[in-house]
Structure 1
Amino acid sequence: MCGIAGVFHYETMKPVDPKRVEVMTNALAHRGPDGAGVWTGQGIGLGHRRLSIIDLEGSPQPMHSSDGRAVIVFNGEIYNYRSLRRELVQAGARFNTEGDTEVILAAWQKWGPDCLSRLDGMFAFALYDLGRRQLFLARDRLGVKPLYMARMPGGALAFASELKGLLAHPLMRREIDPLAIEDYMTWGYVPDHRAVLKNVDKLPAGHFMLLDHGKPVPAPQKWWDVSFAEREKGSLEDHSAQLLHHLREGVTSRMVADVPLGAFLSGGVDSSSVVALMSEASTRPVTSCSIGFDVESVDETTYARQVAKLFDTDHHERIVSADQFSEIDRIAKIFDEPFADASALPTLRVCELAREHVTVALSGDGADEALAGYRRQIFQLREEQARSMIPSALREPVFGSLGRFWPKADWAPQPLRAKTTFLSLAQSGEAGYARALAILAPEQRAALFGEEMLKARRDYRAEQPFEQLMRNAPARSGLDCAQYADLKFWLPGDILTKTDRTSMAVGLEAREPLLDHRMIEFAARLPVRERIRGKTGKWLMKHTMERYLPADILYRQKQGFVTPLAQWFRGPLASEARRISSSSLLVDSGWFARKSLSRLADDHISGRSDHGRTLWQLLMLERSLVHLQPGA
C-alpha cells in the first residue's frame, strides 16, 4: 500500500520542478513509510511513498517498464499478478522484478486501457507513456483506493492519494465549495462526485482518464459497472455453493503477502466469515485483532473471543474507553475533508492494534452493500411493496400529512418513531431511500443554514444525484436500485474512505475480500428472496456460513461500532456544543444561522431532543475547516 502524487502539464510540456512533487509526496509519508521516490520528465512529474508488501526489496517506484518507454506510480495490490505475469511472458514481455507493479506496466503496453478489466485488485495509479506522451490515471472498480485531482494555474493537473498531497502544492487554491457543505450535512461525508474545495475532483470508482499534452483535460471514462438487471439461474444450494466459492476466492487471493498478515475481528457475520475462511486456507493460526469498550452495552468482545476460540486464532484485543473525543483533531487531520462517521474513532483504534502485530489486515467491508445486510434495505423492500399496493395519488396526501404532523419522538421506542416512515411512503422509492440514508432531511438542513448558504445552493439538494443514481440503475426491483446506490455512493464515500484513511494513518494495509468483483457481480444477480428473507438481511451468506459459524454469531442483531455521541454532548463536550453555535467559521461565513445552532445545542443539552449526530457533524466540519486554512 502506498501514496502517490504528481503533476501533469496538459497545455504545454513545460518542465516539472521535482522539489514540488517531492513536497506533495512527503505529505503522504504515513501511507508509505518504507521508501520514497520522484521522477520527472518533460511536462510530467510522478512521486511515490512505499509501504512494502510484495517483493520487499525489488520494486521501488516510480518504476519504468523493462524497455524504458513507460513509468508508473501505483497505490494498491493486484491479486492476480502472477497469472497475468505468466500470460504476458508467453506473449513476449520481459520483467526485472517479482512484484505486481511491473505487471501493470506490461499489461498497459499490451492492451492499453483494456488492461484494467484484467486486473483483479484494489488500485489507483498514474502511468505515463513516454512514446505516446500520454498520462493514464485509473481507479479500481469499487473505489477502495482514492485519487484526488486539481487543476493548477498554468495548465497543470496535480493529483494525489489524499487531499493533503494537493494542499502541499504552493499554487493550490483553498476555496470551500458550499455545495459540499450541503452534501456533507446530508450524508456525513463529501461524496465522490464532489470535494470540499471548489477546484478539486475525485476520480470516480471504476473510471479512468487519458490525458494528452496540448489538449483539454477529458472527462473520466467508465470502465466497470455492476448490473442488477439479471437473475441467477439454479437452485438455492447451487447459489450457496457458488457464493462460498466466491468468498473463498476473495479471501485466499488477498492472503498473498511477504509481510505478516491478519484480520480485523468484531464477532459479526462478515469479519467472522473472513476469519473462518482464512483459517481454512492457512496452515498457521490466523492473527485476529479486536477492540472492545468499557461500556458493556456496546461491547462485542465476547463474540469476537468466541470466534477466535472456535478457529484457534492468535487473538489480540484491547479494551478502550468509549470517551474517545480527545482524538477529534487527529481524525480531522487524517480525513482532510469533513467526515462525521463516528465509527472512524474505533476503526482507528483497531487499526493501531493490528499494526502492532501485522502489516496487512483483512476486513469484512462490503457484504452489507452487496448482499443486503442493512436494516434500511429491509425497510426499503417492505416500503416498496407497500408503494406498489397504494396509488401515489393516495399515498402522498395520506402519508405526507401523517409524516408532517407526527411528532419526532427521539425518546420513544423504535416502533413509535413513525415520522420518517410516513414521510418516506409519501415519496417515490428513490426519495424515500435517500431520506432513510440521510442524517438530516432537506427541511432540517434548511432550518440550520444561513442566508448565504441558502443563496449559494439555490435549487441544488444533496439527494438529487443519489436519487438519479437509483433511477438510472441497471436493476429490476426497488431493492436492486437501493443496493446499486449503496455500492456506488455510500460504499466509496463513507465505508471505504473510513477504512483507507484510518489504516493508512498508521501504515497498515487493509484488504477487502468481500469486495471481490466476481462476488459483487454474482450477488447482484441473486433473487431478492435469497438476499432478504423475513427480517433477516444477507440471508444467503448466513445460510452458507452455517457450516462454519454458530447461530448466535450469524443471526444476532447487527451492532457495529457504537460511539456515545448523545452522552458526549450532554457531558464532556457540552461546552463544545455551545461553542459551535457561535463559531466564526460556521456562522460568520453565512453558512449557518446562529440562532438555529444555539437552539440545537440547548435542546440537546437539556434532553428535549437528541441532536448528537448533528452536533458531531458540525464539530467535525469546523475542525476540518480549521485544518484547511492556509498555514494550518
Structure 2
Amino acid sequence: MCGIAGIFSRDPMSPASVQAMTSLLRHRGPDDEGYVLFGSRDKPLLVCSGADTLPQAIGDAGLPYAPRHRLDDCTGIPVSLALGHRRLAIVDLSAMGHQPMCTPDQRYWIVHNGEIYNHIELRRELEACGHRFFSHSDTEVILAAYAEWGPQCLSRFDGMWAFAIYDVVDQELFLARDRFGIKPLYYWVSPCGTFCFASEIKAFTAFPGWSASLDHQAAYDYLAWGLNDQAEATMFAKVKQLEAGHYMRLNKAGLARAQERLPTVGWYKLEGRPFSGSRADAAVAFREHFIDAVRLHLRADVPVGSCLSGGLDSSSIVCVMNRLLAEEPAGAMQQSFSACAEEGRYDERKWIAEVVRHTGVQSHLVFPMFDKLFFELPLLTWQQDEPFGSTSVYAQWMVFQLAARHHVKVMLDGQGADEMLAGYHAFFGARFASLLRAGKLRELWKEVRQTKSAHGYSELEASMQMANVLLPDVLRQPLRAITGRDSIKPSWLDFRVLEAETSDPGRRFGHDMRSVGSLSRAQLTHNNLQRLLHWEDRNSMAHSIESRVPFLDHRLVEFSLGLPDEFKLSDGVTKRVLRSGMSGFLPDAVRDRPDKMGFETPEEIWIRKKAPDTFRRKMRQAIQASAGIFSADGMRLLEDVVSGKRPFNFAPWRIINFAEWLEVFSVKVR
C-alpha cells in the first residue's frame, strides 16, 4: 500500500515537481521513497533516491531498479517523464520491494499502490513461463504479468490496485485501477500541457500552475443529494479520477490532445454468476467464498488487525479471521478497533462485547467527542481531498488513528457487504417494487407485514418507499419533499451561482433501482460504494494503515449478485445468505440482530441538543464563505432540523463541510 505520482510532458521539464507531489503523499508511505526519470533515450535516465529511501536499497548492484543518484542532485536535469513512489511496506519488507521497480531487461517500470492477494499463485504460473524474480513482492508479479499478457493481465488479479507502468520501448504510459475502485487514481492536465497523476488530489497542489476551481455539477450532486465519486468527475474542475475497472494508455502523441477528454477503457463489467441451488446450498457456497477471501486478505508480512463495529459484516470478518489465525503455527492474537458513543442509541458496545467474548480478540475502543470535531476538521478535510457527507467519517478517522497508536499496519473492514447483500433499508423499497411489478401481491403483502414486524415500518411507509422507486420524477420529487428527503432543487442553493443540471443523479446516470439486484448493482458501481471506499482509503492512509475489504473479493461479489433477490432480502430480513452462512461462526445475538449502525456519531444529538449554537455559528460562516452558493435559507434549514420541524438529515453538515473545503483548498467558485 503506497502513494504514487507521476508527470508526463511533451516538453522537457524539471523533476522537482514530482518530488514535491510525492512529499504530500508521505503519509501513504513513510517506509521508503523512490524515483525514476526518463529523458529522450531508450533507457531510464536516472534512478533516484530521496530522504526516506531505505539505505539498503541504494546502489544495490543486484537490483536493476536500485537508486544510484540523489534526486536533490538531479532537479536541474530536464526530463519528459518522472515516476515517484512512497512505500508502506506490507509484503516483502526488504529493500528488494523498493519502487519504482522494473523488469530485468528494464523495459517496463512501475509505481504501484495496492495489493495483489493471489500473487503467490500467479508467480508460480509466470515462473513456468520463464520469468524470474528478484523480490517476493506482488508488485514484481504485476510487472511480469503485464510483460506476459499485456492489459489482459488485469482480469487475472485478485486484489486492489492503482498502478502506472511505463513501456520504455513503445514510450507508452499505462494506468489501471481495480474492479471496484478500492484504490484511488487521479489525473490532471496542467495549463502547460503536462499530464499529472497521483493517488490523492492534494498532490497536484504542488505542481506549478495549479489553481483549484469548482466543478459545479459535482458540487450540486454532493450538496443536494449527498453523492460523491459517481463517475470520473471530482469536485475540482479538470481533475478526473480513473474510474473503477478502467485503464488508460497514453503516449507522446496523445499528450498533444491532453487538454481534451482523455479516452479510457472499461476492462471490467460487473456481472452476476447465475446460481441454481437451494438457499442452504447458497449459504454453504457463500461461506466457502467468504472464508477464502478473508484467507487471501490475511497475506502480509506484518500483523493484521480489524475494524469491529459490532454489526454483522465486521463481526463476520473478525470471527472468520480468528479461526484462520488460530490455524497458524504462531496463533497470533487479533486486535480489533471500535468507535463507541456515550449516547445509548448510537453505542454498540454490547454487540462488540459479544464478539470479543466469542473470539477472545484484544479489543480497543475509542469515543469520538464533539469537542474535538471542529478542531480536527481542517486536517480531516485536507486528508479527504473532497467534502464528505456526515460526521461518521470522523468516527472512522479516530478508529484508524487508534490502530496506528497500537502499531497495527493492516486492517480488515466490512465495506461492500451492504451493497451486494441488500443491507440498507433502501432495499426494502426495491423489494416491494419488484414484487408489485411482478404481480405477486400476496407475497408483497406478506413482505410488508414482516418488514413492519421486524423494523417498525408502517404500511404507509412501505407505500412511500415503493412510490419513490416507481414514480416518474414529476410525481416523485414532491413526494420526497413531503417526506423530508433530498430535494431536486433545495431552496438553500442559489442556482444563479451554482450552474448545474438539477436532476436526480441516479436517474441521470440511468440506474435501474426497481429490484434488489439492480439497486445492488447501482450501489456497487456508482451510488454508494465509491464514496465509502474514498473515505476508507483517506482515513486509513492518513494514519499510514492499509485497509483491506474482503467482501469485495470479485468472486464473492459476482456470486452474490447472481443469487435470487429473496436469498438476500425476504421476510423482512436483510443479508439472509450471510446470516445463514455464518451460522456457527458468529454469536447468535449478533447474527440475528435486525438493526444496522456502523461507525456512526450522535450527529443528531450534537446538532439538536449538545451544541446547536456551534452549528448555527458554523452555518453562518459557511453561507458567508460560499461566494453566493448558499442562500439565507441555509439558516432556516438548520433551524428546522434543530427544532424538529424537519426530519433530521445530513444537509446542514454538507453545507458546513463544503465551506470548510473551499477554504482549505482555496477553491474558486467562479
User: How far off its partner does 1:606 sit?
Assistant: 3.7
The answer to whether the aligner puts 1:270 opposite 2:313 as a matched pair is: yes
User: How far off its partner does 1:242 sit?
Assistant: 1.3
Task: Show the counterpart of 2:69.
Answer: none
Scaled by the length of structure 2, the TM-score of the pair is 0.83
The answer to whether the aligner puts 1:421 opposite 2:460 as a matched pair is: no
> Secondary structure at the residue paired with 2:491?
helix
> Secondary structure at the residue paired with 1:125?
strand
Amino acid at match of 1:277: V
Q: What is the rounded CA distance, in whole Å, between the counterparts of 1:436 and 1:383 in structure 2?
A: 17
Task: Show the counterpart of 1:258.
Answer: 301
Task: Show the counterpart of 1:457.
Answer: 500
Note the aligned Cα RMSD (angstroms). Answer: 2.8
For residue 173 of structure 2, the aligned residue among 135, 143, 166 is 135
> Secondary structure at the residue paired with 1:44?
strand
Q: What is the rounded CA distance, in whole Å, between the counterparts of 2:583 and 2:159 in structure 1?
A: 28
Alpha-carbon contact 2:185-2:242 (below 8 Å) kept: yes
Q: What is the rounded CA distance, in whole Å, between the counterparts of 2:136 and 2:246 in structure 1?
A: 27
Sort the Cα spacing of 1:579 and 1:244 in 2 relative to 1 into closer, same or farther, 3 A: closer
Alpha-carbon contact 1:451-1:590 (below 8 Å) kept: no
1:405-484 equivalences in 2 (<5 Å): 415=458, 421=465, 424=468, 427=471, 443=487, 445-453=489-497, 456-458=499-501, 461-466=504-509, 468-470=510-512, 478-484=515-521
Sort the Cα spacing of 1:528 and 1:119 in 2 relative to 1 into closer, same or farther, 3 A: same
Task: Show the counterpart of 1:410.
Answer: none
Alpha-carbon contact 2:322-2:359 (below 8 Å) kept: yes
1:310-321 equivalences in 2 (<5 Å): 310-321=358-369
The answer to whether the aligner puts 1:126 opposite 2:164 as a matched pair is: yes
Amino acid at match of 2:636: R
Amino acid at match of 2:591: L
Which whole-Å deviations, capped at 9, do the CAs of 1:564-596 have from their partners, x for residues lacking one?
223323442524434524646655x332222x1
1:517-596 equivalences in 2 (<5 Å): 517-556=554-593, 557-570=595-608, 571-581=610-620, 583=622, 587=626, 589-594=627-632, 596=633
Task: Show the counterpart of 1:240.
Answer: 283
Q: After the TM superposition, which of the residue ranges 561-570 and 126-135 deviates more from structure 2?
A: 561-570
Amino acid at match of 1:384: S
User: How far off its partner does 1:156 sit?
Assistant: 1.8
Alpha-carbon contact 1:569-1:612 (below 8 Å) kept: no
Alpha-carbon contact 1:30-1:505 (below 8 Å) kept: yes
Alpha-carbon contact 2:177-2:185 (below 8 Å) kept: yes
1:31-110 equivalences in 2 (<5 Å): 31-42=28-39, 43-57=80-94, 58-110=96-148
Task: Show the counterpart of 2:412.
Answer: 362
1:288-303 equivalences in 2 (<5 Å): 288-303=336-351
Q: What is the rounded CA distance, in whole Å, between the counterparts of 2:339 and 2:368 in structure 1?
A: 7
Alpha-carbon contact 2:28-2:542 (below 8 Å) kept: yes
The answer to whether the aligner puts 1:211 opposite 2:208 as a matched pair is: no
> Secondary structure at the residue paired with 1:233?
coil
Alpha-carbon contact 1:363-1:511 (below 8 Å) kept: yes
Q: Which runs of 5+ in 1 are unaligned?
A: 392-412, 472-476
Amino acid at match of 1:198: A
Q: What is the rounded CA distance, in whole Å, between the counterparts of 1:431 and 1:262 in structure 2?
A: 48
The answer to whether the aligner puts 1:8 opposite 2:4 as a matched pair is: no
Q: What is the rounded CA distance, in whole Å, between the counterparts of 1:431 and 1:495 in structure 2?
A: 30
Alpha-carbon contact 1:8-1:158 (below 8 Å) kept: yes
> Secondary structure at the residue paired with 2:340?
strand
Alpha-carbon contact 2:433-2:470 (below 8 Å) kept: no
Amino acid at match of 1:354: A
Which whole-Å deviations, capped at 9, do the CAs of 1:434-460 have from their partners, x for residues lacking one?
x989x9856463322214246x21465
Sort the Cα spacing of 1:123 and 1:16 in 2 relative to 1 into closer, same or farther, 3 A: farther
Task: Show the counterpart of 1:225.
Answer: 269
Task: Show the counterpart of 1:30.
Answer: 27
For residue 424 of structure 2, the aligned residue among 359, 370, 374 is 374
Task: Show the counterpart of 2:379.
Answer: 330
Which whole-Å deviations, capped at 9, do the CAs of 1:444-483 have from their partners, x for residues lacking one?
63322214246x21465534444x1338xxxxx7221100
Amino acid at match of 2:226: G
For residue 386 of structure 1, the aligned residue among 429, 436, 440 is 436
For residue 391 of structure 2, the aligned residue among 321, 324, 342 is 342
Sort the Cα spacing of 1:420 and 1:46 in 2 relative to 1 into closer, same or farther, 3 A: farther
Amino acid at match of 1:206: G
Q: What is the rounded CA distance, in whole Å, between the counterparts of 1:92 and 1:425 in structure 2?
A: 55
Task: Show the counterpart of 1:147.
Answer: 185
User: How far off its partner does 1:333 sit?
Assistant: 1.3
Alpha-carbon contact 1:279-1:286 (below 8 Å) kept: yes
Task: Show the counterpart of 1:398.
Answer: none
For residue 512 of structure 1, the aligned residue among 543, 549, 562 is 549
Q: What is the rounded CA distance, in whole Å, between the counterparts of 2:108 and 2:290 in structure 1?
A: 35
User: How far off its partner does 1:237 sit?
Assistant: 2.6
Q: What is the rounded CA distance, in whole Å, between the counterparts of 2:317 and 2:578 in structure 1?
A: 12
The answer to whether the aligner puts 1:160 opposite 2:190 as a matched pair is: no
Task: Show the counterpart of 1:116.
Answer: 154
Q: What is the rounded CA distance, in whole Å, between the counterparts of 2:438 and 2:129 in structure 1?
A: 55
> Secondary structure at the residue paired with 1:282?
helix
Kindly tell me the number of residue pairs found equivalent between the two proteins: 596
Alpha-carbon contact 2:314-2:413 (below 8 Å) kept: yes
Q: Which runs of 5+ in 2 are unaligned?
A: 40-79, 442-455
Sort the Cα spacing of 1:157 and 1:492 in 2 relative to 1 into closer, same or farther, 3 A: farther
User: How far off its partner does 1:144 sit?
Assistant: 0.5
Alpha-carbon contact 1:185-1:445 (below 8 Å) kept: no
Task: Show the counterpart of 1:196.
Answer: 235
> Secondary structure at the residue paired with 1:293?
coil
Sort the Cα spacing of 1:346 and 1:220 in 2 relative to 1 into closer, same or farther, 3 A: same
Task: Show the counterpart of 1:249.
Answer: 292
User: How far off its partner does 1:132 sit?
Assistant: 1.1
Alpha-carbon contact 1:318-1:353 (below 8 Å) kept: yes
Sort the Cα spacing of 1:172 and 1:459 in 2 relative to 1 into closer, same or farther, 3 A: same
Q: What is the rounded CA distance, in whole Å, between the counterparts of 2:544 and 2:516 in structure 1?
A: 37
> Secondary structure at the residue paired with 1:15?
strand
Sort the Cα spacing of 1:544 and 1:461 in 2 relative to 1 into closer, same or farther, 3 A: closer
User: How far off its partner does 1:342 sit?
Assistant: 2.2
